[in-house]
Chains A and B, each alone.
Chain A
């Protein structure tokens, strides 16, 4: 798992772009960060899946429940909720992960100028948080039915410290699973019968 991430995340906004908002990579990152300490997650696109996170933790830690307790998350379903949640969050010395940040801003029910206004505010709030701890934000490009919202992605990209492009994880990227211990006493198959 360590090979996937830098040993120390910088105190800045790191934007991760990928299909499905690079969710697989973000789950692995959540697990890796939680193994080291507390972590805050804002799930803005219903992307956080606790099961693969738990599985990733289990590979490294004998008590995944303890580690899962270190992850505190809130889900937001509208861009207004994203803004309000970030406003409520005090700057803390923990990393912050935001899953699929732009998902709610791509919502056609909110007009584009309003989405832009809110996103400006949200980026500012993320910048404040990133002054004392790393902030990793995942996103994806807008679907064609809202292609005009590409401007939101450009706004975000212009304000981040680092941009990563993530492709889906392949099984080879993952740490190898420990071999299943034999349930029965071993026997030598080479013994002639």
Chain B
């Protein structure tokens, strides 16, 4: 018998013996493959006469299930449910048996029937990925005892030193055929040519054997790299040690398009390995936001395997957490939700189904504005008012006397961890490296908490209920109204309210401390945690593009007192903006953010206009790389289904003509070309830069710039006129109010811009330019 301390890396089904394989990384650095039995139990409910039929059907079944009677709690029923418990030795047997029972007895109710092995293991042993554990095992590596030493809620978990191999093709396979693979680990880089194949496989094999990575971190690994390598392995009869688990292939989850919150989402195919992890940065849901530490945190708190947590939505994460809570509290997990909505009148529907509260902003520029946010408002309401499918509908924001429901039970520790991390982050100096780590982990919590509310109303949420969903939004509206009343009682002017935040100002209130009494009052009146997001030196709320008199919620930009920017709803934040446009807008904002106060802003406007002119000149002179002009548009249906052929649909059809598969929900990268045409970026031939429609990009840039200059008193029409060759730009600056002038003589660029839109002159300008890289 041996005993080790270490970290749990992965749990999956054992194909060599019934039960689970448990990979552990010991304190000494050994990677150990252990195993243990894990009987799988599920339940059938229904009329006694039908259950007897099931019993008869199963008693001589080849999988030899253990059958017994049981009684457990269904969250949606008041009395315990009489059950037939069915237990088999392996997950595969259970899944097969469940499918057979569904065919034979489709009208019966099934519980705990489609749970993953990881969540069953987590419920039984309190395990989760990267948990610290003590394991006793026999010589045969059979686990005798498994004890978990930390919890999912530890603020500073001790994490192992992982071996990470970075592996990627030398270019985007969707755009061009890769020629080599680039590998990098511990600061050492290697490059493997894809041809000839045999040396490639041999060299890769040597690398894998020598480094034995715990994680293969790829780009395009799910969609191209690993499928390509597996194809080569099969063709050349070569066993590449991508898995640590001997004799296992890989687990492939196919690509799919699905609807989520009214939007069509595309999820690329996935390749999961056994014994080590594979994460494709390009297919990881929140790689950009969370990074590896955020993904590990997502896996730890949700108890989903790392490879799953990296790729699934936070909704799946929160659902797994709820299932785990149910299993831990002996509550049945229904195979699917059956309970419908209690009937209500149309009048009740109008009164209850309202969503979040929004007060349209007062458009324009404002100085010294405090931004106040409720911390994780909806989850906090769910915990405070004990909102759960099985609990009574609460009175607005009141504490419930009922025992804690399943949803608050699940959320409370997560919420506490997030609040604790946020408090710690705010106390750490900017240079402290823990800030970044805490921010990534807190980001994972934020996504889970944001989703948990929506999940109450989600069609496939097993523990969702629309009435609970409505109760949460009702609480949210009440909290925001109480905050507004408190602000006005304290003499503040409320500029904007948006679901869980409000923007307030009062003459002479410029420092965070000035807002503290208001925050205390809001906490007293609502019972919810609230924080000051910051005090803006200045903030600009923007109107609708169609009608300047109509404000648009959540479309603003502003500068906090420390000079940091906050931008919402502008091109700089949109995923379908060309990078060049987004960068130009961001540079304008960053330049203006240097103004120490709103009074200095007019002095910065000439410089900002010069930045805009410089960017436009770059476009005209062909200094903008084509990749910076790419626009990525999401398709909401198959390209041929569009009745109005949008730019995205036309680019999608171009890709289809060369045999590339384009699914709804995917983004298509394209360039705008002359004559209203588009060019899909991932076509095999190179793009002729002379055909790029620079006038279109000019238009996009001016529109984006106009959003920045409009609140400063410069209307879009005036900006355009000036850019086309005006001499003097006169404008009314909002504060202090008054007429200002920017006098800039028109330069040669403006003359050239006039010529730009004349095709004949245009061609003359273009010939000098680099054909492949730059815009003509």
- Partner-B contacts on A (CB < 8 A): 30, 34, 41, 48, 50-51, 53-54, 65, 68-78, 80-82, 84-85, 88, 104, 107-110, 114, 117, 143-145
Contact = CB atoms under 8 A, between A and B. Distances in A.
Contacts of B457: 77
A76 B340 contact: yes
Contacts of A81: 337-341
B347 A78 contact: no
Given A51-B350, A72-B344, A145-B664, 6 more contacts: A50-B349, A74-B342, A74-B343, A77-B457, A78-B336, A145-B638
Contact of A84 (B339, B342, B460, B664): B339
Interface core residue of B338, B343, B460, B464 (most chain A CB under 10 Å): B343
Given A51-B350, A145-B664, A74 B340 contact: yes
Nearest to A107: B459
Given A109-B460, A144-B637, A80 B341 contact: no
Contact of A75 (B336, B341, B638): B341
Interface string B102-132: 1000100000000000000000000000000
A77 B261 CA distance: 12
Interface string B441-464: 000000000000000011110001
Contacts of B638: 144-145
Nearest to B102: A114
A72 B257 contact: no
Interface in B636-650: 637-638, 641
Contacts of A145: 257-258, 264, 637-638, 663-664
Pick the 7 closest A-B CB pairs, nearest first.
A77-B459, A85-B340, A71-B346, A68-B347, A68-B346, A81-B340, A74-B341
Contact of A50 (B341, B346, B466): B346
B345 A68 contact: yes
Nearest to A54: B350
A114 B99 CA distance: 12
Interface in B204-228: none
B258 A108 contact: yes
Given A74-B340, A78-B460, A81-B339, A50 B106 contact: no
Nearest to A57: B346
A75 B470 CA distance: 13
Main secondary structure of the interface of B (DSSP, over half): loop
B345 A84 contact: no
Contact of B350 (A50, A109, A114): A50
Interface string B256-272: 11100000100000000
Contacts, number: 92
A110 B106 CA distance: 13
A107 to B, nearest CB: 7
Given A75-B466, A107-B459, A144-B638, A114 B106 contact: yes
27 contacts: A30-B346, A50-B349, A51-B350, A53-B346, A54-B350, A68-B345, A68-B350, A73-B343, A74-B341, A75-B466, A76-B340, A76-B341, A78-B336, A78-B337, A78-B460, A81-B337, A81-B338, A81-B340, A82-B340, A84-B340, A85-B341, A104-B459, A107-B460, A108-B258, A117-B106, A145-B258, A145-B664
Contacts of B339: 81, 84
A175 B74 CA distance: 50
A69 B347 contact: yes
In this complex, the interface size class of chain B, counting residues with CB under 8 Å from chain A, is 20 to 34
A71 B345 CA distance: 5
Interface in B573-618: none
A163 to B, nearest CB: 24
A27 to B, nearest CB: 10
Given A143-B637, A145-B664, A73 B349 contact: yes
Contacts of B459: 77-78, 104, 107
Interface string B652-683: 00000000000110000000000000000000
Interface core residue of B346, B347, B641 (most chain A CB under 10 Å): B346
Nearest to B106: A117
Contacts of B257: 145
A104 to B, nearest CB: 7
A9 to B, nearest CB: 19
A165 to B, nearest CB: 18
Contacts of B346: 30, 34, 41, 48, 50, 53-54, 68-69, 71, 73
A82 B341 CA distance: 10
B461 to A, nearest CB: 9
A84 B338 CA distance: 7
A65 B347 contact: yes
Nearest to A39: B346
A73 B338 contact: no
A78 B337 CA distance: 8
Interface in B61-108: 102, 106
Nearest to B637: A144
A181 to B, nearest CB: 26
B451 to A, nearest CB: 16
Contacts of B460: 78, 107, 109
Nearest to B457: A77
Nearest to A70: B345
A116 to B, nearest CB: 11
B336 A144 contact: no
Nearest to B337: A78
A80 B76 CA distance: 15
Nearest to B103: A113
A84 B336 CA distance: 12
Contacts of B464: 77
A73 B344 contact: yes
Contacts of A68: 345-347, 350
A117 B350 CA distance: 34
Contacts of B663: 145
Contacts of A71: 345-346
A136 to B, nearest CB: 16
Contacts of A76: 340-341
Interface string B397-410: 00000000000000
B664 A69 contact: no
Contacts of B343: 72-74
Contact of B466 (A51, A77, A114): A77
Contacts of B466: 75, 77
Given A81-B340, A84-B338, A144 B345 contact: no
Contacts of A80: 336-338
A107 B336 CA distance: 13
Interface string B328-341: 00000000111111
A73 B341 CA distance: 9
A90 to B, nearest CB: 12
Contacts of A48: 346, 349
Given A78-B460, A108-B258, A109-B460, A72 B337 contact: no
Given A84-B338, A84-B339, A144-B637, A72 B345 contact: yes
Nearest to B663: A145
Nearest to A114: B106
A69 B345 contact: yes
A62 to B, nearest CB: 16
Nearest to A83: B338
B313 to A, nearest CB: 14
A138 B663 CA distance: 28
Contact of A144 (B350, B353, B664): B664
Interface core residue of A73, A114, A145 (most chain B CB under 10 Å): A145
A180 B224 CA distance: 64
Contacts of B336: 78, 80, 110
Nearest to B256: A108
Nearest to B665: A145
Interface core residue of B256, B340, B466 (most chain A CB under 10 Å): B340
A68 B348 CA distance: 9
A31 to B, nearest CB: 10
Contacts of B637: 143-145
A71 B350 CA distance: 12
A119 to B, nearest CB: 13
